[in-house]
Structures are given as structure tokens and as C-alpha cells.
A and B are shown apart, each in its own frame.
Chain A
Amino acid sequence: MKTKTNDVILQTVTNVVAFMILLFSLRIFFVGHYTPGGGFIGGLMTSGAIVLLLLAYDIKTVANILPVDYKILTAIGLLFAVGTSAGALVFDVPFLTHAYGEFNLPLLGETGLHTAVLFDTGVYLVVIGVTMTIIQTIGVSE
């Protein structure tokens, strides 16, 4: 192990910036249907935020903050994607037929909901899971 260095500036900046990146990635993910963005780039940016945390702290700390097994996250993402696609079969329409509707929600008011977002959530989760699995595995491997 190297001697412990004092990287308080990095850590402090990270504490602030990581949330901003996280928020930006969520935004990019949610607006994907209307403006550039979507599950793929959103997922990449979210994992970028986590990588920043990894740079500032060590793997154990990050694992404490985010106690997530990324392999399971990948699986959940795939489940989302396949589940959304297969759900169409229940309504007697072809595989991967999306549905759209306007709903009056209690807090948000009149909102358009689209099952494509659920599919995109799958993509989002898979991308986070994959990126983090790769980076963590290589990082720990030494």
C-alpha cells in the first residue's frame, strides 16, 4: 500500500459533483424519448458518477455507500426489458408492442406514460451493471 495521502479537496468536490452527474444522468435518461439521451447514455453517466466515487474513495467505502451487486443489477435490467416486451403478449398483441396513455396522477397531474420507459429502464440498469461489473472486477483483480 502506498502512503496515505490527504485528498480532501478531491473528496469534497466529488461529494458535490457526483450528485450533479447523477442528477444529469437521470435527466438524460428521462428525456430520452423526446430529446437526445436515453437509457444507454444515462446508464453510462450514472456509472461515471460511481466511478468518480471510486476514484475519490476506495472500493470498500463505495461498496458501503452503494451496497449493490452489479451482476444482479444486470439481471434485473434484463428482466425489465424482457418483462416489458413479454408483457405485451398478455394483451394479445405481438411481442414488444408498447402502450401509451394519458393518466391523471395524484401529484403530477396529467401525465403521459409510455411502457417504452420501462424498457429503457432495463437498458439503463443493464448498462450500469455491466460497466460497474467490468470496472470493479478489473480494479480488484491485482
Chain B
Amino acid sequence: MTLLHWAIISPFLFAILIPFLYKAMRQVHTGWFVLLLPVALFSYFIQFMPVTSDGKAIKETAEWMPSFDINFTAYVDGLGLLFALLITGIGSLVVLYSIYYLDKKREQLHNFYVYLMMFMGAMLGVVLSDNLIVLYMFWEFTSISSFLLIGYWYHRERSRYGALKSMLITVFGGLSMLGGFILLYLMGGTFSIRELISQSDLLMNEALFIPAMLLVLLGAFTKSAQFPFHIWLPDAMEAPTPVSAYLHSATMVKAGIYLVARMSPIFAETSLWLWLVGGFGIFTLFWGSFNAVKQTDLKAILAFSTVSQLGLIMSLLGVGAAALHYTHLDDNIYMVATLAAVFHLINHATFKGSLFMVAGIVDHETGTRDIRKLGGLMSFMPITFTIAIIGAFSMAGLPPFNGFLSKEMFFTGMVRVLEMDIFSLDTAGIIFPVLAWVGSVFTFIYSMILVFKTFTGEHQPEKLEKKPHEAPLGMLISPIILASLVVVFGFFPNILSERIIAPAVAAITPSLVEEGHEIKAHISFWHGPTPELFMTFGVILFGILLYHLLPKWKKVYSWRPERLSLNSIYDGVLVRGERAASSFTKGYMTGFIRSYLVYIFAFFIGIALFGLWYKGAFAVNTVELAPIGIYEVAIALLLVISSLTTLFAKSRLTSIISLGAAGYTVSLFFVLFRAPDLALTQLVIETVSVALFLLCFYHLPKMSRHETRVKFKIENAVIAVGVGIVVTLFAISSYSTKLFKSISSYYIENVYEVAHGKNMVNVILVDFRGFDTLFEICVLAIASLGIYSMIKLRLTRRKEG
């Protein structure tokens, strides 16, 4: 365990302290203590920047389960560091914001910060682990802590619904991801991502390669809310706004992005990867932005916008994989897609974080987030308005903010798809730029809705719960910092490029770096009159047009019936699944012993017959058969008659008597087959059991003592006959296939020499195999004590005795 390991798990350790701090110092907001840790971690991680910008990586291993190849290996490279800085940096700002957002008297702060710290530690673990299983462990920690945070206001029904939904979807993806990891382990023989990457050429040809890729992608898509798994994200907006800002815009949803980026060196060579990641990404971009426009809740707009932006990053990562196929290009023009993905990742974290905080402020100061009730807040909260306009314009991709730059690079990447001559991208690839452009138009529209419907227009004080006013300064600090970053990155994008973006891109495309391609991360503000620029003009033009005509075409959204939405499909699947499971269980768990016996016997017949047939085990061998005498035949007939009488007798008394007859006949068999001990015992025991049967019979309740014949049921008959046949077949074949001789000769030889007895049965019972007898008498003792206590101990009976 090095300092790096302690840094990764420090949030977990700190989480233990939080409840004590909360109890001990009620007058201070617990958030102030919590704030120290992410700030310290941020300054710790920023020290790694010189190392990673040199293209080096730090790897520290702490042994955990070495025999299973599961070790806590911390690995810091450009990509991991970028995420670690995002997590701790935005984490600090979110904690600061939450201090003013959450009331220290009314809220259960200890819960909140424990969950939040758990989440932060889990995210750090995800992005800094080199071992797949450790990564998976931290991955599930993020799912669990996110579940707890979404359900933070657990008394609200919507919160619980959202928490459950996100849990089900992300854990579903997480488990499939685990399956993918295990397949990777089976192919590569190691859980280490580094080592897997080094043998990625070999992995390509394995049969399990595609299944592993699909499973891992399923995990990544569910986590980062790609279509059609995005449905949990809008419902996760029931969480407190700091949580939404942190988890559902800046960090957790990017875990899927991280995973795709991290796994790119292993999987990206195949065409399927490009089409899946790129295709799902670009469609998610379109779908998210299209649906964002119809939302009326500020956070719902932001949620769909997050979905859409994540799709954007995902599509860039997918298209960026094309760079691997053009290693001959001196200036690899497809690297720009990966570059844009990393750059937009940072930009999105800054502007979306600030926008969520703005939404939180509006909610906090007016009491609603519904844009139909809001309006004209510009003069009441000028600072919030400024922040919102910066964030929204950046999101829409307008100059001079950072969103503009990454949007331009995004268009560049998408347009260049058309120049590719692989995987039929030059023809079908047209969907990439088209969907990208359409999605951007919708992005523009909802960004404008977000700002102008909230802050301009008519002020409607009668609809608001509170009188709006500017937020306290403390609440504004974090969004101000984020908004200034938006502006700073917009004007000086190159302060990031060499230090952060280039190492991250190098981590995503290590094979290209090995071949000597230099990562040219220089981001220029002005490209000249390129197609991308005209696309942006088009976006702005059409965006403004459609924004103004919004009331006219909003009907589009009502064309699609609610029944067919993905949410109702999800709900339907859950409800139907529950109903189906319940009716299935109710169907076969009848509560009648008869049914269960039918299952047991039917299964027995099935499996036994199948076994006989499958192994070809049935055999008849008449060589060793003994001759049949007249006595045996007579007694056997007697036995058959008494058994049939037992079955078909009308009265129970007859059944009991014929059962006794069968028992005595069996003892005759024992006599005939020379087993005197058995015959003696059988006689006495049969007498006792018949006497007990009669006792039971005598005490039957008068009401149900209808003397009716056993009802004939065809399935009972079939099963009974089946069991009889199966047992007979087994007896015949086992008798016919004796593989070795009996060991009884040993007993015969040694019964007197060793055991000093002449009754072999008794000697076996008390000497050779006395151990069995010991426990058989225990069984008897338990039975008698059981009867005694059943009869004597009647706690439910009243006192009448």
C-alpha cells in the first residue's frame, strides 16, 4: 500500500469519520469538514501532471488476492489522471455548493456526505485501477452509492422509483461487464488491463473476443446512459441537485465513457466496435437532444442534455477508432475525433456542472423548476443569469466558449468519417454528420429554452412559492468557478492541451504512440472557412428559426403515443415480469402435498428413464437367476392380492388389515429366503404398526370419516405405474450387470475367527458395522421422544387438559 492507494481509498476511510463529526459538532455544517478531503486529493493528483505529460505512467501494486491474480494495482496515466482531477475538482466544488444548498438542521447530512464520499472513492478506484476485478468492484460501489444518493429523500415515492430504476439498469450492465471481464481473463490469462493491451493482437483472433466486447460495451452503455438505457438518468433527477451535478453530469455517467476509452486499445481494431460505439453514440446524441426540447422541468432538460452530450463523446470515441486503420498517414487526421472526445469530456463537466448548480439555485430561490412557471428572473438574479447564459451558450456550441471549440472538432471528426474507405463508412457513414448536425440543432434549441424561458420573458410571481432573490454568495462560488473555467478554456484551450489532453489521447491510442505518431493536441480557435464552420452557422440559423417557431411544431412530440415510450416499456417489463413470476410460482406451488409428490415422482421417472436410455444401461441377464419354487410363487401371489386389496378397498379398515397381511407375507418371504432375524423382527414390527394404524383409524374425526374408495385420477395412475416400471427396470438391469463379486465372503470367513460369533447378521449389526446400529437406536430414541413431546406438549390447547 503506497500513498497512492491510500489516496484512492481515503474517501471511504473518511466516510467512517463523518457521522462522528456530525454528532460531535452540530453547530458547524458537516460539509466544511468534508470539503478538506477532495481539495487535498485534487492538489495531490495535480502533482502527477508533470509525470503524465511526459508520456509516463505510475503503477503501484498492493497485493490483495495474488493467487487469483486480483491485486489492487493503481495505475496513473493521462486518462486516469484526467478523470481523477475531474472527480476531485468537481467533487470539491460540489461539496462547497452543497454546504449552502442543504440545510444543516433539516437534512440528514451525515448520510449525504457518507454516500458522497463513498461515491468519490469508488469513482477514483474505477479510473485508477489497472485490475479488471478491482475496477469492477469500484464500479459496483458507484452503482450502490449512486442508488443511495438518488434515494436520499427516501420518503418521496419518485426518489425511490428513480433509485430503483438506476440500480436495476446499471447493475444489469455492471454484471454483464463482469462477464466480459471474465471472458477477457479466459482469453488473455490476466486481469491486468496493461497486459491485456499488450496482447491485443492475439485476443483479436479468439472466438470469445466479440462476446467479451459486447458485454463490456453493455456495461459502459448502461452506465453512461446510452440509448436505450438512458431512461434511468431523467428519473435520477430526484436526487438533491448537488448529486445531479456531480454524479449525473460530471462523473458517474462518464464512467462508461472512461471504460470505452480504456478498453479502446483492446477492442478498437474491429469494425463492430466503430459501428457500435459510434452508432449508438450518435443516435443517443440525436435522441437525447430531440427529447430534451419537450421537457418542462429544468433538471429534466439537463438530464436529456447530459444523455445527448454523452452520446456525442461516445460517438467521437467510436469514430476515433478509425485512426488505428490509417497508421500510414503522417498527420493522422482521424486522431481529431479522440482529441475532441477528451476535450469535450472536460468541457461538458464544466458547463453541465455549472448549469445543474444554476438549476439548483433557481429551484432553491423560487421553489419550482418548472419552466412554465418561471420567467423574467433576469433582474432578480443577475449573477445566476450570467452563469446560465455562459453555460448554455457553451453547451449550444457558440463562440467564444469552450463548447464551441469542441463542437467544431466534433463536426470535423464526423465529416471526416466520409473520407474513410473502410467498413463501408464512405456510404453508410453519412448518418454520422447528418445526425450530428440535426442533434446539434436541437441542442441549440434546448439550450436557448433553458436560458430564455427561465430568465427572460414575463415574471409570474403568483405561480412561485417564494419571492425570488439572488442566491447567497457561497452557493454562487462553485458555479462561478465552473463558468470562469468555461470562458478560460474557451479563450485559452491550449493550457489544457499539452498537459492533460495529449496524455489522455495517448492513453486511449497507445499503439499509435508506439509507432511514433506525435499527438498534436494544439487546438486552434480559428480554422478558416471549413465545412464545420458552415455547419455551425447552419446550426445557429436553424436553431434560432426553430426556437421561434417552437409552439407551432411542438405537436410533433405528441405523435408518439406514451404507451410506446421506452419508460413504459421498462415499466411494462417490470410489471409483466413480476406478474409472470408470481403467476408461475402460484401455478406450481399449489400448497398441496399431492402436487409436489407428482413433481417429485415425475421428475424421478424422467431423469431415471433418460439416464437408462442415455447410458444404454438397460440389460437383462438370466444366467445367475435362481430356480423359482412353488412357495415363492404362492407367497408372491398373496402379496400381490393383499397389495391390490389395500389399493382398491372401500373402507380404510380393510386397507389396514390387508396392509398387515402384506407385512406378514413379507415376513414369510424372509423365512423362505432364510433370514430368521428379519422374519422375527418383521413379524413383531408389523404387529405394532398395524396396532398403531388402528389407533389412528379409531381417532379419525367423525366429520370426514366418509368411507369412500380412493378416487381414480389418471395422472396418479400414470405416475404410479411409471415409478413401478422404472424401479423394476432398474432392479433388473442392476441385477443383470454385476460388475464385481460381493464382499460377503469376508464376513462368512471371519465371523468366528475375528468376531467370535456365529449369527452373522447379529455380528454385522453389533460388531462389523455397529456404527450404523448406534445411530439407528438414536433414531428410535428421537422418534419416541418426538411422540412423547407431541402428545404431552400442547401449548396451543387451552387449560382444560
| Chain A interface residues (CB < 8 Å from chain B) | 28, 31-41, 44-45, 48, 71, 74-75, 77-78, 81-82, 85, 95-96, 98, 100, 112, 114, 116, 119-120, 122-123, 126-127, 129-131, 133-134, 137-138, 141
Is there contact, CB below 8 Å, between A37 and B680?
A: yes
- Give residues 664-704 of B contacting A (CB, 8 Å): 676-677, 680-681, 684-685, 688, 692, 695
- Give residues 756-801 of B contacting A (CB, 8 Å): 756-759, 761-763, 765-767, 770-771, 773-774, 777-778, 780-781, 783-785, 787-788, 791-792
**Is B755 among interface residues, defined by CB-CB distance under 8 A?**
yes
Is there contact, CB below 8 Å, between A78 and B677?
A: no
Interfacial chain A residues near B784, Cβ < 8 Å: 71, 74, 129-131, 133-134
Report how far A120 CA is from B777 CA in the complex, Å: 11
Report which residue of A40, A82, A98 has the largest number of chain B beta carbons within 10 angstroms of its beta carbon. A40
Interfacial chain A residues near B765, Cβ < 8 Å: 38, 40
Is there contact, CB below 8 Å, between B787 and A37?
A: no
Output the nearest chain A residue to B780 by Cβ-Cβ distance: A130
Report how far A39 CA is from B774 CA in the complex, Å: 12
Interface size on B, residues (CB 8 A): 35
| Chain B interface residues (CB < 8 Å from chain A) | 676-677, 680-681, 684-685, 688, 692, 695, 755-759, 761-763, 765-767, 770-771, 773-774, 777-778, 780-781, 783-785, 787-788, 791-792
Choose from A28, A85, A134 the contact partner of B774 (Cβ within 8 Å): A85
Is there contact, CB below 8 Å, between A33 and B763?
A: yes
Q: How far is the CB of A135 from chain B (nearest CB, A)?
A: 8
Q: How far is the CB of A114 from chain B (nearest CB, A)?
A: 6
| CB within 8 Å: A-B pair count | 124
Is there contact, CB below 8 Å, between A41 and B777?
A: no
Grouping DSSP codes into helix (H, G, I), strand (E, B) and loop, the B interface class, with mixed when no group exceeds half, is helix
Q: How far is the CB of A115 from chain B (nearest CB, A)?
A: 9
Is there contact, CB below 8 Å, between A38 and B684?
A: no
Interfacial chain B residues near A77, Cβ < 8 Å: 777, 781
Is there contact, CB below 8 Å, between A45 and B756?
A: no
Report how far A34 CA is from B791 CA in the complex, Å: 40
Interfacial chain A residues near B781, Cβ < 8 Å: 74-75, 77-78, 126, 129-130
Q: List 21 A-B contacts (CB under 8 A).
A: A33-B756, A33-B757, A33-B766, A34-B757, A35-B759, A36-B680, A38-B761, A38-B766, A85-B770, A98-B770, A100-B755, A116-B757, A116-B767, A119-B770, A127-B780, A129-B784, A130-B780, A133-B787, A134-B787, A137-B788, A141-B791
Report how far A85 CA is from B677 CA in the complex, Å: 23
Is there contact, CB below 8 Å, between A116 and B755?
A: yes
Grouping DSSP codes into helix (H, G, I), strand (E, B) and loop, the A interface class, with mixed when no group exceeds half, is helix
Output the nearest chain B residue to A100 by Cβ-Cβ distance: B756
Is there contact, CB below 8 Å, between A138 and B787?
A: yes
Contact A44 B792, CB 8 Å, known A32-B759, A85-B774, A130-B781: no
Report which residue of A35, A77, A95, A123 has the largest number of chain B beta carbons within 10 angstroms of its beta carbon. A123
Interfacial chain B residues near A34, Cβ < 8 Å: 757-759
Report how far A105 CA is from B676 CA in the complex, Å: 32
Report how far A122 CA is from B776 CA in the complex, Å: 12
Is there contact, CB below 8 Å, between B766 and A116?
A: yes
Report how far A77 CA is from B788 CA in the complex, Å: 18
Output the nearest chain A residue to B773 by Cβ-Cβ distance: A123
Contact A137 B777, CB 8 Å, known A44-B681, A48-B684: no
Q: How far is the CB of B671 from chain A (nearest CB, A)?
A: 11
Interfacial chain B residues near A114, Cβ < 8 Å: 756-757
Output the nearest chain A residue to B680 by Cβ-Cβ distance: A41
Report how far A31 CA is from B681 CA in the complex, Å: 15
Is there contact, CB below 8 Å, between B681 and A33?
A: no
Interfacial chain B residues near A122, Cβ < 8 Å: 777
Is there contact, CB below 8 Å, between B677 and A98?
A: no
Q: How far is the CB of B552 from chain A (nearest CB, A)?
A: 89
Is there contact, CB below 8 Å, between A98 and B788?
A: no
Given contact pairs A71-B785, A116-B763, A126-B780, a sample of 11 additional A-B residue pairs in the complex whose CB atoms are under 8 Å apart: A31-B759, A34-B757, A34-B759, A35-B759, A36-B677, A75-B781, A116-B757, A123-B766, A133-B785, A134-B787, A138-B791
Report how far A82 CA is from B773 CA in the complex, Å: 11
